[in-house]
Structure 1
């Protein structure tokens, strides 16, 4: 007992995890919400369609994730997967950037188009993916969107386009800007045929995409807090020499000023689309 009293206590030091221990934690296991800072299992976040259960923040979704969330299982048939962008202007390093994005996303371009069903109602669906060149609208993207619209004209099915974009693709210059007129003209032909176009704007939908086809829907919907606009906030403030409202260019701001029909939470989107499709059936 005396030995225990006089024996010096060993100091306890906090241990630093070894590199091996760090490697045992799978990458991407946890996700921190950028809005409320809640840390959650990525798997649980995905199950909730990438919407934070704490604050409702809508995290970015890939094109195939959105297709899986909306289209009935086993009904989706991809269209025009062979349409791939090139480097028509010989922009330095552009081909390497495209190839890197193809490897990173597993997609050929920033848009996926196809035919499927939403609760039994047939639709043509095009989804843009911001992980591929920020879903900028180059020649291939414009071509895929135009072909999807023409498919809707031929079949008589409604077309739904889920937009997400940083605008025109600068590496393709004027050819990129021409896609604004190309897609808008195709939608005019759809309108004359009596077809239905539902536009869904997600974060962000900006530049030439917001100024063309994304704003031409028979129904214009957007996800909560989505950034939707043409020019950047700083550029507009410098041009008009006025300070803009804090919520400027958000989906809620556009709804209040009559540029949207409804702001729709992601978890309610399929139900709303089913209702709209049933009305027009």
Structure 2
């Protein structure tokens, strides 16, 4: 008759026997919704093995596979931003800045460093989108400018990896001036005949697109990246017309001549290395090298 008796306790598991699934073990692709383990996702360079969606990653991740053995020397790691405008809105800029530093472990939205890529000396500046949307403030502009100075001084090719929501509004004109400063530094780099590779990743927008991101000797992108100045809604309202399908994607820009090529993340190092192997200052004649 035990089958017909209700067990008051039911089927239970004691609290001490319950096992919680640790957080951070799985990654769900935002495009196809397929779930992968975090370790497998990292092995695929943070690209979905099912649909090929390229997740947003920051300097720490890019540096692991672009620099040989992931080894590099960071430039100006302690540079931090001030608050010259005493900007206050719903939250003080200083409070938001401090919260971003604490959350990300970074001092600002760009990391710069030098090392080797396929045994070639190289300088890389990479933006960190998780730091206030990769916005360009005075520190971002200054660190990029100093990285370019390092490239010029030691005649090393320069790679810029852009990923940004645009200018940092909390610094107003101080932010906007970084467009002119970085562009001027790149003009000096070009005058010295030192290669500049611009890699545009998702998303690259605003003042970053309007300045250093589109000034490369070669402009490349990862698949599906959003690249533009103003957002699609603003553009549509301005011109009063519907936008073409795929507007502001990397593929659309490639078709219209704004990019030289699109490369999957797993091929980036090889393709950049091949380009630099052809144009590197190391291949200059001795007369130019001793200028």
The runs of 4+ residues in structure 1 deviating greater than 6 Å are 11-20
Q: Deviations over 1:244-266 (max 9, x none)?
A: 01200000000000000001111
| Alignment-derived partner of residue 66 in structure 2 | 70
- Structure 1 gaps of 5+ residues are none
| Alignment-derived partner of residue 258 in structure 1 | 257
| Alignment-derived partner of residue 145 in structure 2 | 146
Change in 2 beyond 3 A, CA 1:142/1:16: farther
| Alignment-derived partner of residue 30 in structure 1 | 26
TM-score computed with the length of structure 2 as normaliser: 0.90
| Alignment-derived partner of residue 211 in structure 1 | 210
The question of 1:84 aligning with 2:83 is answered no
Query: SS of 2:203's equivalent?
Result: strand
Q: Deviations over 1:138-183 (max 9, x none)?
A: 0000000011111111111000000000000000001100100000
Decide whether the 8 Å contact of 2:64 with 2:71 is kept in 1: no
Rounded Cα–Cα distance in structure 2 between residues aligned with 1:88 and 1:196: 35
The question of 1:45 aligning with 2:41 is answered yes
Q: After the TM superposition, which of the residue ranges 135-144 and 67-76 deviates more from structure 2?
A: 67-76
Rounded Cα–Cα distance in structure 1 between residues aligned with 2:192 and 2:38: 44
- Structure 2 gaps of 5+ residues are 281-291
Superposed displacement of residue 73, structure 1: 2.0
Rounded Cα–Cα distance in structure 2 between residues aligned with 1:248 and 1:17: 56
Rounded Cα–Cα distance in structure 2 between residues aligned with 1:229 and 1:9: 68
Change in 2 beyond 3 A, CA 1:135/1:21: farther
Decide whether the 8 Å contact of 2:195 with 2:276 is kept in 1: no
Rounded Cα–Cα distance in structure 2 between residues aligned with 1:272 and 1:43: 26
| Alignment-derived partner of residue 248 in structure 2 | 249
Cα RMSD (Å) of the superposition?
2.1
Query: SS of 1:134's equivalent?
Result: helix
Rounded Cα–Cα distance in structure 2 between residues aligned with 1:58 and 1:172: 31
Query: SS of 1:259's equivalent?
Result: coil
Change in 2 beyond 3 A, CA 1:174/1:15: farther
Change in 2 beyond 3 A, CA 1:221/1:13: farther
| Alignment-derived partner of residue 287 in structure 2 | none
Rounded Cα–Cα distance in structure 2 between residues aligned with 1:31 and 1:147: 36
Query: SS of 1:167's equivalent?
Result: coil
Aligned length: 276
TM-score computed with the length of structure 1 as normaliser: 0.93
Rounded Cα–Cα distance in structure 2 between residues aligned with 1:229 and 1:108: 26
What are the within-5 Å matches in structure 2 for residues 1-281 of structure 1? 3=1, 7-8=3-4, 21=18, 24-73=20-69, 75-92=71-88, 93-281=92-280
Rounded Cα–Cα distance in structure 1 between residues aligned with 2:270 and 2:144: 24
Rounded Cα–Cα distance in structure 2 between residues aligned with 1:42 and 1:152: 35
Change in 2 beyond 3 A, CA 1:13/1:55: farther
